[in-house]
Amino acid sequence: MPLFVGIAVLAVAGGGVALYLRGTTPTRSAASQVDLERAVAVVDRELAADLELMSMFDQTKQAFVLENAGFLATRHVIEREAADAYDLVADVYERIPATERSMERRGPAGSIPDADRAVVHEWEGDAREAQRLLRAAAAPTTRTRWERLTEGLRRR
């Protein structure tokens, strides 16, 4: 009987350790999380406005100047705190001049060449994807205690 009790105690203790190691902690400091949420909100609103202008372009075929000041002001925060989303967002903003030129070009009778239409539509799709990635990146993230423990061991 004492052997069975010893095994049971070890099993309970091992289970307790496993539960403790599965506990979670935030991956960002509170200040970094607030900075990221603000930056994402600025860029999200800006992309929403740009997408609204693109919708107006689809209806009127009048070219618009797309906004980019919000991203330029907050890009360092997004790059630091949401590196996974940053590459696509930066690419979307780098392609704004080409997209604007595509909106301005006209073919016969004010038509838009297929290649330019493709540039505009691709930019729209990528801008929507960038919004989705940014929103996901702004969600508070957590790591398990086990991940934090093994991360510390890997650094050594």
| Model confidence pLDDT, tens digit, residues 38-78 | 999 999 999 999 999 999 998 888 889 999 999 999 999 99
* CA 8 to chain centroid: 47
Asked whether residue 15 is domain-assigned, the answer is no
- Residue 90 maps to a domain: yes
Confidence at 20, pLDDT banded by 50, 70, 90: low
Alpha-carbon distance of 110 to 114, in angstroms, equals 13
Residue 22 pLDDT > 70: no
pTM (2 decimals)? 0.72
Work out the end-to-end distance of the chain between its first and last CA atoms, rounded to an integer number of angstroms: 44
For residue 128, tell me if it sits in a domain: yes
Question: In this structure, is residue 67 part of a structural domain?
Answer: yes
In a domain, residue 52? The reply is yes
Tell me: the pLDDT tens digits for 92-130?
999 999 999 999 998 787 788 999 999 999 999 999 999
State how many domains the chain has.
1
Q: Which 8-state DSSP code applies to residue 144?
A: E
What residues make up the domain containing 46?
29-139
The partner residues of 25 in beta bridges, in order of sequence, read 143
Which pLDDT score is estimated for 28? 78
Give the distance from CA 45 to its chain's centroid.
14
